[in-house]
């Protein structure tokens, strides 16, 4: 987005004139130019960091968030082996560490804290066993087999953070040919795609049918009532997560979308939850919770067991913490 059309032109011509060496299977890859920040280890196309200081799972997630990251998700055995090797290099041991997996909101529904779907797993034999009925957080390097186990979230363990490269933008999929044509168009049309010295892609971005564009993300209201974790799984099945909300403008727009979609202002799940650690609220899409719109006296953790965030609560249509197993409509969000 910050690239000028001039840079695009030069760059895409370079790519083209260098024998297309940046192409692979017909696609244009930026990742060759991407470097992880100091102290982070590049594995596949993401940056990982081992945090040796033992913390609870939720504090470890907050610590990752403070570095613009999340607790690590793992998507295949190669990544897992690389993470194990990184821990061994950093600490000269292979002890247990938190990954981002959790089933705190709903037993046996495992979610990654960075909002990605959990397809690959490496559970130890007999795990996850939910020992004592209360193990909801995922530790790696467990037992002699160094596999995955569910553990009590309030245990203190080292942890592994992951972050994406700073800009994971859709131009990864654009070919250099398109960049060349496009930047020449931009240059020859008086740079009309520039605004305040920056180059904006978003004018060309459209949400899929059935999704509503709010700021630079796409939202969707799901009227079917579900538990919080099933609502998150339903969003994941559409390449989305339960919605995070980052300012009042977004919240008002989401409320208007629900009104338009259902002719009501009833409660709906958002992606907020403090199921792993009381009063540590996290968004299921992995973004940090900075903006909140709690109702007066909420979140009150009624009965000691309200850990999921409903919107449009009470006459003030604000946020409340509710039992995660209640069935509510929900709001999904996805990036372009
Ligand atoms: Ca569990
Ligand atoms: Ca266990
Ligand atoms: Ca709670
Ligand atoms: Ca409440």
HSE, side-chain direction, 13 A CA sphere, residue 84: 16
Give the tens place of pLDDT for each residue, 219-234.
Answer: 999 999 999 999 999 9
CB 334 within 8 A of CB 239: yes
Closest CA to 94 of 20, 146, 39: 146
Ligand 3 centre from 302 Cα, in Å? 8
31: left (phi over 0), alpha (psi -120 to 50) or beta: alpha
Rounded mean pLDDT of the chain?
A: 87
SS3 82: helix
Question: Who contacts 104 (Cβ-Cβ below 8 Å, separation ≥6)?
Answer: 136, 137, 153, 273, 275, 276, 307
> What digits encode the pLDDT tens for the residues 140-158?
999 999 999 999 999 999 9
Higher pLDDT, 223 or 15: 223
| Ligand 2 center–CA 102 separation, angstroms | 12
| Contact predicate 270/243, CB 8 Å | yes
Residue 71 is inside which H or E element, if any? Answer: strand 70-71
Question: What is the Å distance from ligand 4's center to 222 Cα?
Answer: 22
Q: How far, in Å, from the CA of 107 to the mean position of ligand 1? A: 5
Q: Could you tell me the distance, in angstroms and rounded to a whole number, from the CA of residue 220 to the centre of ligand 1?
A: 29
Distance 48 CA to ligand 3 centre (A): 30
Distance between CA atoms of 269 and 226, rounded to whole angstroms?
9
Mean pLDDT of 210-222: 96
Q: Name the residues around ion ligand 4, CB cutoff 5 A.
A: 300, 302, 306, 320-321
Centroid of ligand 3 to alpha carbon of 279 (angstroms): 6
CA of 143 to the centre of ligand 3 (A): 31
Cα of 117 from ligand 1 centre, angstroms: 17
pLDDT tens track for 77-121:
999 999 999 999 998 889 999 999 999 999 999 999 999 999 999
Query: What is the mean pLDDT of the segment spanning 195-210?
Result: 64
CA of 301 to the centre of ligand 1 (A): 20
* pTM of model > 0.85: no
CA 326 vs. chain centroid, Å, equals: 24
Residue 236 Cα to chain centre, angstroms: 11
Question: What gap in Å lies between CA 177 and CA 62, rounded to an integer?
Answer: 42
Q: What percent of the chain has pLDDT over 90?
A: 73
């Amino acid at each position: 987005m910050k690239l000028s059309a001039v840079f695009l032109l030069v760059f895409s011509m370079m790519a083209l004139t260098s024998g297309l060496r940046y192409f692979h299977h017909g696609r244009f890859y930026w990742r060759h130019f991407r470097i992880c920040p100091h102290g982070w280890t590049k594995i596949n196309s993401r940056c990982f960091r081992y945090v040796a200081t033992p913390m609870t799972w939720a504090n470890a997630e907050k610590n990752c968030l403070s570095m613009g990251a999340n607790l690590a998700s793992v998507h295949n055995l190669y990544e897992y082996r690389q993470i194990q090797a990184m821990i061994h290099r950093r600490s000269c041991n292979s002890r247990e560490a938190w990954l981002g997996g959790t089933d705190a909101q709903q037993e046996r529904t495992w979610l990654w804290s960075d909002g990605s779907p959990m397809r690959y797993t490496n559970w130890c034999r007999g795990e996850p066993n939910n020992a004592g009925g209360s193990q909801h957080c995922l530790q790696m390097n467990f037992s002699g087999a160094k596999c995955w186990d569910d553990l009590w979230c309030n245990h203190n363990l080292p942890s592994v953070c992951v972050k994406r490269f700073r800009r994971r933008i859709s131009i990864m999929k654009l070919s250099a040919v398109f960049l060349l044509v496009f930047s020449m168009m931009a240059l020859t049309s008086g740079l009309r795609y520039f605004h305040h010295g920056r180059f904006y892609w978003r004018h060309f971005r459209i949400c899929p049918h059935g999704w509503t564009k709010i700021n630079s993300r796409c939202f969707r209201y799901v009227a079917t009532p579900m538990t919080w974790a099933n609502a998150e799984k339903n969003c994941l099945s559409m390449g989305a997560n339960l919605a995070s909300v980052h300012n009042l403008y977004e919240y008002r727009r989401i409320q208007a979308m629900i009104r338009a979609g259902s002719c009501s202002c009833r409660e709906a799940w958002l992606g907020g939850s403090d199921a792993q650690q009381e009063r540590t609220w996290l968004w299921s899409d992995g973004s940090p919770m900075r903006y909140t719109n709690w109702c007066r006296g909420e979140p009150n953790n009624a009965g000691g067991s309200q850990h999921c965030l409903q919107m449009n609560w009470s006459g003030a249509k604000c946020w409340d913490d509710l039992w995660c197993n209640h069935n509510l409509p929900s709001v999904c969000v996805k990036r372009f």
